[in-house]
Structure 1
Amino acid sequence: MSWTLTVNQEKHTLTEDKRLIDFLREDLGLTSVKDGCSEGACGTCSVVVDGRLVKACIMKVSRFDGARITTVEGLSAREKEVYVHSFAETGAVQCGFCTPGMVMAAKVLLDKNPQPSREEIAKAITGNLCRCTGYKKIIDAIEMAGHYLHTGKHVPVLDPQARVGDRSQRVDVMEKVLGTGKFPDDYQFDDMVYGQALRTRYPRARVNRIDISKALEHPDCITVLTAKDVPNNTIGHIVQDWDVMIPEGQVTRYIGDAVALVASETRESLQAILDLIEVDYTELEPMLDPFQAMAEGAPKIHEKGNILSSERLIRGDAHKAVAEAAHVVTETYEVSWEEHAFLEPECAIAWPSEDGGVHMITASQSIYDEQREVSNMLQIEPEKVHIRSGLVGGAFGGREDMSVQHHAALLAWKTGRRVNVRLSRYDSTIVHTKRHPMVMKMTTSCDGQGRVTALIAEIIADTGAYASLGGPVTQRACTHAGGPYNFQNVDITGKAVYTNNVVSGAFRGFGVTQSCYAMESNLNLLAEKCGMDPWDFRYLNVVRPGDVLPNGQIVDQSCGLAECLEAVKEAYQSGPYTGLACGFKNSGLGVGVPDFGRCTLSVENGKVHIRTSAACSGQGVAQMVTSIVCQTLDCQVTDTVFEMPDTDRTPDAGTSTASRQTLFTGEATRQAAQDLKEAIEAVDGDLSKLEGREFFGEFGPPTDPLGSDKENPVSHIGYSYGCEVTVLDEKGKIQKMVGAYDVGTPVNITAVEGQIEGGCVMGLGYALTEDFVNPGGIPKFKLGTYGLFRANQVPQIETHIVKGPGYVDYAYGARGVGELACVPIAPSVAHAYYRLDGKMRTSLPMEDTFYRKKK
């Protein structure tokens, strides 16, 4: 039997029935069509079939005999020009993984309705998820594209200028809109083979025996590896506690643990080979509660015990201050997991290198972290692990640990073959980390005039089976527990506890999102006891330049938190059911940890090559460093070339975490550009005379460790501040979110707005709808039913970018925004609901709301 399909005006006849997406991607090389879920939920695989929008990941080609199919590659030259300009001009592109699917949804709409309303656009893209943007700018882009296509208006020539503080178009937009940019799984090689891990059946079980003999007999099987094949089986991001595979005789720690690793000649045979591996287990009772895990006599998940880390932050005498206070509030808050839900499932490709190591194509938050962990596993020199980054389809903290990179490298190193290892959506969900569940007991006090006097906090974090970033996340929850307020008496304790749950690690906000929810909610109760309006209470107590943060650090002159409150005052007072919250977030690792941003500028073929390993998962690293170079050199974007991260070409700029790259790598780039500027001036502006020269910038001022005996330690190089107002209607539906954020100088205003809008919508999901169900330590998860906000659910979002009174001259005054945008959302929503119905909501996701009824 055969089927004939016309794809992008070319006819193709098939005799093998397969998924439409596999035919388009694997057979025709149309890699704009992405597989984000394989369940028809995310829309990244959207194509146009006879004028209808179709999800290619769930339909077989036999359904489309005689059909005409269009992908982004098949758009007309005019359509391509319009969509690239519209998505660029409005800032509708971040990571880019969802973008071609969004364009296809837009095409179907605009072909039928050339002038749709914003509501009609939102409805048209409801089947397409975006985790980055918050949808507002995508709707803007489709609205603009409709205008150009309907009127025939000429698309303006791209402005080659980019300066700090402007709205210049991102340099990576075209490849993301048209799908020509490559994520790791988009790379196609004739000699590729495929790998996959066999995962444990139980969160906690003894592995008695692993029999691979039948699997090895499968005709497509290349090899089956187990723990005994790994030179060093225990690795980790910070703590070396994460097994590459669980060996015979040892106990699994969570449902994502691997027990064997298969390489196959074809991707289609992988599951059949895995099914032939026989594993004998003795199932054990999992420890799923951190308090159970801390109990005396509890089985040890790791040899050193079940407490990963303990933190204590003391300043002044909090207990005395509470005893003497006019008003005291004590409340306990509990927050659950949150799934990153980046749309690109993890994938890595590895093959042997000439020097006895491996080459790799990956998508992570640091190629040098990958190099370190892979070389540690293989026990070879780091320089023999050569990693270059593809595009990264979202991260939000979820790509800091090894997921597939180490398995791809191990298989390539052992077999001598080029190996692609890609996770399914469900495996991605169980393998990579989550936002930490926490139980937080908060006691706050104030005097009779409403000035805060003390905070006593106890925080217990469920870090799951492995350390990941659990220690630093818990530490950050503690150091930020007092919020951006004038608490001079604090006693804060925190523990990160191992359990047999999914691993918790870095997630946008990095512990601060959790403790901010507790602090802000407590402050509302404290204001109520004082008889003060919550806005007035905050305005009285927020830190200003020269004040001292709860951690002892003196607030610098750029702090504009009071100005943020002033910017949202009108919105807060606009109705009876509004909620308010403030937040702050550090830029950089801080607390005494060495931390450097780095950039090399090289003059090659008359262009300035910008080389840094700073990973971009959508936030716009390329645009940030390009704008800084153009600002410093007074040159055009066309005079520069941005290079993707590559361990053989780009210096180690540290991990894209802790909202650090704009400040740290931005300042390193400015320093390198300043040196280049001076060199250009020395040769009378003739760049050709500098051909082949390199200019290096590095930035990483020292900070003081937690517990420093200094009166005013410098915990972090910079902080960003913000506040958010939630406006509900009488039914409890969110009508509007109004935010004001002080991020110093916005390097690119459109990009900063996009980060804030995306963070807001992610925060709304955390607060209201994203319920990560984990019965017995085995996640019950589907992307389509998890509770991610879709375009037609997002309220109006209004953003104010605020500047403080002073200026700190690093990176032209810029600070981070990516994490901060998530921090104040949940407490703002909780406060609005409290004002609506008088009910305190002390757990997340909230129950008994317009979005989620009480269980």
Structure 2
Amino acid sequence: MEKKIRPDGREKVTGRLKYLTDLTFPEMLWAKVLRSAYPHARILSLSTEKARKLPGVRAIITHEDVPALNGFGIVTPDQPVLCKDVVRYVGDALAAVAADSIEIAARALELIEVHYEPLPVLDSPEKALAKSAPFLHPGGNVLHRAGFQKGDIQAAFSQCAKIVEETYEVPRQLHAYMETEGGVIVPEKDGSLTVYVGTQHGFKDRFQLSRILGMPEEKIRIISSPMGGSFGGKDELNIQPYGALLALATGRPVKIHQTRQESMRSSIKRHPMKITMKTGVDQTGRLRAHQTTITADTGAYATLGPAILDFAVEHACGPYIIDAVDTKGLSVFTNNGVSGEFRGFGGNQITFALEGQMDRLAAAIGMDALELRRLNIRRKEDPGPLGQRIAPTNGALEVLESAARVYHAKKQHMPKRSTWKRTGTGLAVTMHGGGLGFGRMDPAGGRLSLTENGKVEIAFGFEEAGQGILAVIEAVTTEALGCKKEDLSIVIGDTAFVPSSGSTTASRGTSMVWHSLQRLKGPFIKQLLQGAAQRTGIEEEELSIGPGGIWKEGRCMLSFESLAAGKEPIVVSTQFDFPVSPDPIDSAHFLYTYSGVVAQVEVDLLTGKIKVTELHQSTAAGPVVNELGYRGQIEGGGVMALGYTLMEDVVMKEGQYATENLDSYLIPGIGDVPFQLELEAIETLPLEDHYGPRGVGEIGTVAVAPAVANAIYDAIGFRVSCLPVKPEAVLQSMERGILHENRF
């Protein structure tokens, strides 16, 4: 693996890079959004009269000022831009203000008078599903149902030697990106609009804003790179509609940048889920029956809640072959904060439960947990978890064996016991589908061109969100063409200059770049060589692309700049669908990545605090394109997952956020990072696999929680079924006397 410096690395570490929230424009106004005081209430009246009289206020908008569709949502536009009759959660917007300063805008919000009639608060799926519960939406309180069945589940359970049933609960998690939602929206002289706001889906934002503003898409330009992190949280619209409406109302640039408290209140979060699994094995350790019930709290609005539930249902069996399966999922509307896209997309929740089951089953039949997994792990030609055909792969077995070697090595060199400290080691494995899945529009593509100034321009319609996609584009393009990085001009994140090629989501960026270049390089190289042959009189077959231009026998015969001079730009485009299973099974994936995680923990018996001291991740995702980027994604994902496992929980009480800022919502700091972060990249693919490298943006987060949970059991005999694992839960387990006797 060759180490390559990120193209944007120097600007980022020196602080010279301008993010979209750093931008300023002449005569720019500042905006604030008024959010609901109640999680569920009827709006009796709303008056902006006093606020409008405040000096420095330039515009105030309410639902009456939305010219077209008063709603947004990537798939289902059920969230009002500005509420008219009712509010369904505390992040609902009622009005927005543009003023000469941020202080004036904040004061104006205080002067807006709203009278509410509080309504019953449905702050849990159980309350929302009760027969007496009011409907939060016309269709009721169930957003989506999903399921998968295979075999005769009851007959299979009747043949099992041991059955384990457990309910797992996982929390609401904050994306905690460094740059909160924000940017500047600029009205142009020709009546168009330029939106400088971070997003993972520029063309989808353009489409949604077009519906809201009643404006042709072509008159809306989205500039969406760079941004300070997303992890799925900026895939949906957030502040864009308010800035756009205010910019059009005032004819001036409008800046909105949410505070952390405002972001906490209005941003989407990871879905809290309650997952009940009942799993049975025969005497030999074969998995015979697996029944799963998933209840997801999707909050007040849909966003991508249905797709996330579908993903969790698909991955309920993970990388294992099971005779009979019965999976049922329910996504429920509540008056809690909106749950939506988050790194792992439902895989983290379901994997925590599944890998917990595997260790419990092994203990129930007196079998080594590694052997149980090895016996049931999928092999190269096995179908996917929904019975669909997938790219042949031994990735699951490869990561298991890699993790097994690490696990045994760590068990042989366990730290010495101390009076008040216990150490344990745990393992978990997982598989994770890339792309959006069968039946969902998943466009991909790109464009190669030789520009007038002699640059090889490579353009994609997605965004740089801190994930290192620029380094991937640079590495894949230079390898495909044979040129050097100085020859390249990379264009992304601007709808005015890039093709529509889908979003920066679903671990698809690396794959999409690689697949695009496989299609683009042949026609592009041919046109370059044809042009060079005409210019030089040398036969086309004798020429090749090299650093800086066109080469023959180790000598540069014509620079790219000379080749481009006086000619129309050479442009080659491609458009295709991201690879999906040939089997028409809704949401089924085709390309998967695999991970085996080994965690070592230290448990303090006095305080109950858990410290992850070592974390090893074996990842099978095809060839590594950029080592630094690959390692950064896996290690960063692992640390994010430690937060999910041990400390993060966006607690809501009666529909209100109990935690409103990062002073009380804890995320991992440098002191929480394990002493040893290790990574093994398994790069081999079967000979018949022509699908190239897979993305690793999500896989590093998925199996960490169960590995840590299994390590906690190894240390003190406490079976974790609820995240995050709090110190008080550890202390309570000791009070119940469940510590391993041999640990004392």
TM-score, normalised with respect to structure 1: 0.77
The 2-side partners of 1:431 and 1:705 are apart by 39
Residue 3 of structure 2, aligned match among 167, 171, 179: 167
**Residue 209 of structure 2 corresponds to residue 374 of structure 1:** yes
Distance 1:704 1:319, change over 3 A: farther
**1:463-502, aligned counterparts within 5 Å?**
463-502=298-337
Q: Report deviation, 1:193.
A: 0.6
> What TM-score results when the alignment is normalised by the length of structure 2?
0.89
Counterpart for residue 523 of structure 2? 675
Q: Which moved more, 1:665-674 or 1:759-768?
A: 665-674
Q: Which residue of 2 aligns with 1:36?
A: none
Report the count of equivalent residues. 684
Counterparts of 1:385-784 in structure 2, within 5 Å, are 385-573=220-408, 574-575=410-411, 577-604=424-451, 605-682=453-530, 683-684=532-533, 685=550, 686=558, 687=560, 688-689=562-563, 692-701=569-578, 703=580, 708=585, 715-729=588-602, 731=604, 732-779=610-657, 780-784=659-663
Confirm or deny that 1:201 pairs with 2:37.
yes
Q: 1:756 to 1:852 in 2, by over 3 A?
A: farther
Aligned to 1:830: 709
> 1:598 offset after TM fit, Å?
1.7
Q: Partner of 2:117 in structure 1?
A: 282
1:270 aligned residue? 105
1:535-560 C-alpha deviation (Å, 9 max, x unpaired): 11112211121012321134533432
Q: Tell me which amino acid in the other structure corresponds to 1:628.
A: V
Q: In the alignment, which residue of structure 2 is the partner of 1:181?
A: 17
Following superposition, the deviation at residue 484 of structure 1 comes to 0.8
Structure 1 counterpart of 2:540: none
Q: Kindly provide the amino acid, as one letter, of the partner of residue 201 in structure 2.
A: S
Residue 445 of structure 1 contacts residue 453 of structure 1 at CA under 8 Å; is this kept in 2? yes
DSSP-derived class of the 2:17 partner: coil
- Superposed CA RMSD: 2.0
Pairwise CA distance, 1:277: 0.7
Structure 1 stretch 563-572 or stretch 525-534: which is displaced more?
A: 563-572
- Tell whether 2:683 aligns with 1:815: no
2:668 to 789, 797, 822: 789
* SS of 2:155 mapped into structure 1: helix
Aligned counterparts of 2:697 and 2:387: Cα–Cα separation in 1: 25
Distance 1:350 1:853, change over 3 A: farther
The answer to whether the 8 Å contact 2:381/2:393 transfers is no
> Which amino acid in the other structure matches residue 696 of structure 1?
S
Task: Report the CA distance between 1:365 and its aligned residue.
Answer: 0.7
Q: Secondary structure at the match of 2:316?
A: coil
Q: Which amino acid aligns with 1:189?
A: F
Query: What does residue 81 of structure 1 align with?
Result: none
Return the letter of the residue paired with 2:588.
S
Q: CA deviation at 1:849?
A: 7.1
Structure 1 residues 730 and 301, CA, compared in 2 at 3 Å: closer, same or farther?
A: closer
Extract unaligned runs of 5+ from structure 2: 415-423, 534-549, 551-557, 605-609, 736-744
Distance 2:622 2:123 in 1: 42
Question: Aligned equivalents of 1:752 and 1:610: distance in 2?
Answer: 21
8 Å CA contact 2:637–2:698 kept in 1: the answer is yes
Structure 1 residues 349 and 714 mapped into 2: Cα distance closer, same or farther (>3 Å)?
closer
Task: Identify the match of residue 228 of structure 1 among 64, 89, 104.
Answer: 64
Shift of 1:614: 1.5
Q: Distance in 2 between matches of 1:555 and 1:246?
A: 44
Q: Relative to structure 1, is the Cα distance of residues 630 and 702 closer, same or farther in structure 2, using a 3 angstrom cutoff?
A: closer
Q: Which amino acid aligns with 1:798?
A: E
How far is 1:805 from its partner? 4.9
Contact residue 581 and residue 724 of structure 1 kept, 8 A: yes
Structure 1 residue matching 2:296: 3-state secondary structure: strand
Is the deviation greater in 796-805 or in 834-843?
796-805
**Which region of structure 1 is more displaced relative to structure 2, 799-808 or 250-259?**
799-808
Determine whether 1:241 maps to 2:78: yes
Deviation, structure 1 residue 701: 4.7
Q: State the structure with bigger RCO (CA 8 A, min sep 6), 1 or 2.
A: 2
Instruction: Using the TM superposition, give the Cα deviation of residue 747 of structure 1 relative to its aligned residue in structure 2, in angstroms.
Output: 1.0
Q: Verify the 8 A CA contact 2:461 2:494 in the aligned structure 1.
A: yes
Secondary structure, counterpart of 1:514 in structure 2: helix
Classify the secondary structure of the residue corresponding to 1:597.
strand
Which stretch shifts more, 476-485 or 377-386? 377-386
CA contact (8 A) 1:397 1:507 kept: yes
Provide the rounded CA distance (Å) in 2 between the counterparts of 1:174 and 1:390. Answer: 16
Which amino acid in structure 1 is aligned with residue 714 of structure 2?
R
Shift in Å, 1:355:
4.5
Paired with 2:8 and 2:113, the residues of 1 have a C-alpha distance of 47
Instruction: Letter of the 1:226 partner, please give it.
Output: T
DSSP-derived class of the 2:374 partner: helix
Residue type at the aligned position of 1:670 = Q
Describe the shift of the 1:660–1:488 C-alpha distance in structure 2 as closer, same or farther (beyond 3 A).
farther
C-alpha distance after superposition, 1:706-734 (max 9, x if no partner): 973xxxx9922310000101112364532
| Mean Cα deviation higher: 350-359 or 238-247 | 350-359
Percent identity reads: 35
- Using the TM superposition, name which of 168-177 and 346-355 deviates more: 346-355
Q: CA deviation at 1:561?
A: 2.1
| Aligned equivalents of 1:627, 1:852: Cα separation in 2 | 50
Farther-moved stretch of structure 1 (322-331 vs 394-403): 322-331
3-state DSSP class of the match of 1:580? Answer: strand
Cα distance change on mapping 1:411 and 1:192 into 2, 3 Å:
same
AA at the equivalent of 2:683: K
Aligned partners of 2:196 and 2:222 also within 8 Å: yes
- The answer as to 2:682 corresponding to 1:802 is yes
Contact 1:630 1:636 in 2 (8 A): yes
Q: What CA deviation, in whole Å up to 9, does each residue of 1:216-262 have, x standing for no partner?
A: 11110101110011022122111120100111xx1101100111110
1:478 deviation in Å?
0.6
Verify: 1:217 aligned to 2:96, yes or no: no
Q: Counterpart of 2:187?
A: 352
SS class of match (2:196)? strand
Structure 2: how far apart are the matches of 1:810 and 1:414?
Answer: 52
Runs of 5+ consecutive residues of structure 1 not aligned to the other structure:
1-164
Distance 2:596 2:579 in 1: 29
Q: Is the 8 A contact 2:66 2:213 kept in 1?
A: yes
Q: String of CA shifts for 1:615-653, please: whole Å, max 9, x gaps.
A: 121111111111111001111000001123111100112
State the alpha-carbon separation in 1 of the partners of residues 124 and 383 from structure 2: 37
CA contact (8 A) 1:841 1:847 kept: no
SS of the counterpart of 2:654? helix
Contact 1:317–1:489 (CA<8 Å) still a contact in 2? yes
**Distance in 2 between residues matched to 1:359 and 1:439, nearest whole Å:** 42
* Bigger shift: residues 279-288 or 511-520: 279-288
Greater alpha carbon shift after TM alignment, 486-495 vs 681-690: 681-690
Which whole-Å deviations, capped at 9, do the CAs of 1:740-796 have from their partners, x for residues lacking one? 010111111221111110111111110111132222222122213312111122112
